[in-house]
């Protein structure tokens, strides 16, 4: 869900990128035809440029570049050499003539990774072009305002392929990236055992060099993710045709975790990847985060007292929550202890369902909530139809469960 992440104690997801545009084909620009000849020429130029990148045709790629911009663009071209690209597209969304011979072009970049992405991951770009002797040339290509930066814009990319994962990193040696791939490989079968529905059963992990780099990949200030070990980006519209997820690791917070913490983080994030098709705007954060924690903690031997220390302290102090965590309780940048209690409360709500009704019913409840056409009434209907209970009764049962498990 939007704005979620994982701290040193646990991870969570962050569907922070509004990746709403579905692109098809290996390369090309599919915006409606424009009347202005210059715009048509620019689209054709971007078509050729994208095709040259995919086919590793350096002379063809260079042909679209203004000489002053060529060194920067060719650096990016070389950084992408080992990235297994299966698609690269530009869709023009707007143009502005800033001078008689210059255009500013807004476009959606869409790319796919071979063997991993059914649909492209997209990001808004701002392209600068200049006309010389009747031809257009690229003079710049950067993220549009508020849009994410791409990993290969941050530095040289190291690629590590796992059995069930693909890890791309900058500023990290291959050995460290291999450790992350190994953890992701272990997470996939564990998640599949708990969530036996169709999903990709593989994970793409991006590892930037720094916290600031993580923020750039999310199109947000890195300071908002300090202490957050990883986030998962993706689109919560539901359905199997949603653009692919990316697990983005904060190397600073992830780096201080021990083996248990790292495994917990990547298992949790893998749950979000697996459940993406069933996670929609109807899904409350307590359910998506609690479900991911439940699977991540499964078979770890951790007791609720160990895994929910902040909530336990509150319960022992007589501060039993009156209601299930609300979406706003999961916001970053506020009270860290309150945030922890929200995650712990969501986890124990899901554990209550699994304990009382069984894992199959929990899965059915999750899917029923996500399938509801709106947030209003989604949980209420699923409680009634799947668990034969009411919001009031479930909340009362949850409060009793907290007392039983944490005291």
Mean pLDDT of 162-191: 96
Mean pLDDT of 286-294: 98
| Assigned domain for 27 exists | no
Mind listing the pLDDT tens digit for each residue in 346-365? 999 999 999 999 999 999 99
Quote the percentage of the chain above a pLDDT of 90.
Answer: 82
Given 127, 147, 167, which residue is the final one in a domain? 147
**Same domain? 96 vs 122:** yes
52: CATH? 3.10.450.50
Structurally, the chain folds into a number of domains equal to 3
| Assigned domain for 28 exists | no
**Same domain? 90 vs 181:** no
| Assigned domain for 300 exists | yes
Mean pLDDT of 289-309: 95
**Same domain? 157 vs 262:** yes
Query: What range does the domain containing 336 cover?
Result: 280-407
Q: If you search the block for the tokens 């079968």, which residue do you land on?
A: 189
pLDDT at position 34 is 40
245: CATH? 3.30.2010.30
| Assigned domain for 32 exists | no
Query: Model confidence at 239, in pLDDT bands (50, 70, 90)?
Result: low
- Residue 237 confidence (pLDDT) above 80: no
Q: Are 383 and 390 in contact (CB under 8 A)?
A: yes
| Assigned domain for 30 exists | no
Q: Which of 240-244, 381-385, 400-404 has the lowest mean pLDDT?
A: 240-244
| Assigned domain for 321 exists | yes
Query: Which contacts (CB < 8 Å, 24+ apart) does range 153-161 have?
Result: 153/76, 153/216, 154/208, 154/209, 154/213, 154/216, 155/79, 155/209, 156/79, 157/79, 157/80, 157/82, 157/83, 158/82, 159/82, 159/83, 159/84
Listing DSSP states for 207-249 in one string gives E-SSHHHHHHHHTS-GGGGTTEEEEEE--TT-STTSPPPEEEE
What pTM was computed for the model?
0.88
**Same domain? 189 vs 260:** yes
**Same domain? 337 vs 383:** yes
**Same domain? 175 vs 264:** yes
pLDDT at position 31 is 42
**Same domain? 293 vs 346:** yes
Any idea what the Cα angle at residue 337 is, between residues 334 and 338, rounded to 5°? 65
Given 257, 275, 293, which residue is the final one in a domain? 275
- Residue 7 confidence (pLDDT) above 50: no
**Same domain? 293 vs 363:** yes
**Same domain? 205 vs 169:** yes
**Same domain? 209 vs 249:** yes
**Same domain? 378 vs 406:** yes
Given 103, 126, 147, which residue is the final one in a domain? 147
**Same domain? 245 vs 304:** no
């Amino acid at each position: 869900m939007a704005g979620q992440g994982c701290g040193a104690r646990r991870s969570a997801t962050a569907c922070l990128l509004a990746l709403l545009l579905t692109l098809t084909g290996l390369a090309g620009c599919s915006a409606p035809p424009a009347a202005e000849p210059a715009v048509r020429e620019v689209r054709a130029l971007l078509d050729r440029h994208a095709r040259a990148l995919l086919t590793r045709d350096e002379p063809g790629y260079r042909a679209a570049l203004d000489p002053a911009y060529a060194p920067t663009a060719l650096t990016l071209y070389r950084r992408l050499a080992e990235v297994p690209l299966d698609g690269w597209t530009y869709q023009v969304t707007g143009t502005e003539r800033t001078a008689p011979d210059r255009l500013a072009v807004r476009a959606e970049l869409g790319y796919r990774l071979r063997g991993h992405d059914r649909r492209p991951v997209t990001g808004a770009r701002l392209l600068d072009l200049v006309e010389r002797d009747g031809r257009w040339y690229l003079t710049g290509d950067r993220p549009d305002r508020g849009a994410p930066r791409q990993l290969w814009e941050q530095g040289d990319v190291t690629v590590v392929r796992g059995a069930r994962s693909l890890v791309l990193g900058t500023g990290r040696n291959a050995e460290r990236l291999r450790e992350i791939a190994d953890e992701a490989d272990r997470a996939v079968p564990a998640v599949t055992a708990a969530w036996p529905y169709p999903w990709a059963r593989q994970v793409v992990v991006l590892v930037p060099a720094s916290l600031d780099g993580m923020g750039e990949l999310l199109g947000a200030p890195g300071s908002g993710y300090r202490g957050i070990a990883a986030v998962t980006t993706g689109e919560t519209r539901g359905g199997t045709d949603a653009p692919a997820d990316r697990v983005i690791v904060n190397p600073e917070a992830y780096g201080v975790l021990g083996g248990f913490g790292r495994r917990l983080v990547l298992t949790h994030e893998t749950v979000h990847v697996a459940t993406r098709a069933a996670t929609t705007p109807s899904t409350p954060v307590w359910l998506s985060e609690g479900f991911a924690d439940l699977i991540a903690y499964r078979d770890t031997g951790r007791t609720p007292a160990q895994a929910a220390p902040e909530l336990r302290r509150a319960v022992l102090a007589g501060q039993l929550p009156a209601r299930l965590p609300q979406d706003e309780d999961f916001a970053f940048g506020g009270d860290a202890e309150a945030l922890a209690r929200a995650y712990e409360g969501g986890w124990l709500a899901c554990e209550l369902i699994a304990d009382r009704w069984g894992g199959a019913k929990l899965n059915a409840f999750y899917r029923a909530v996500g399938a509801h056409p709106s947030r209003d009434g989604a949980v209420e209907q699923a409680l009634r139809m799947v668990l034969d209970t009411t919001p009031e009764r479930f909340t009362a049962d949850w409060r009793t469960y907290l007392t039983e498990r944490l005291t």
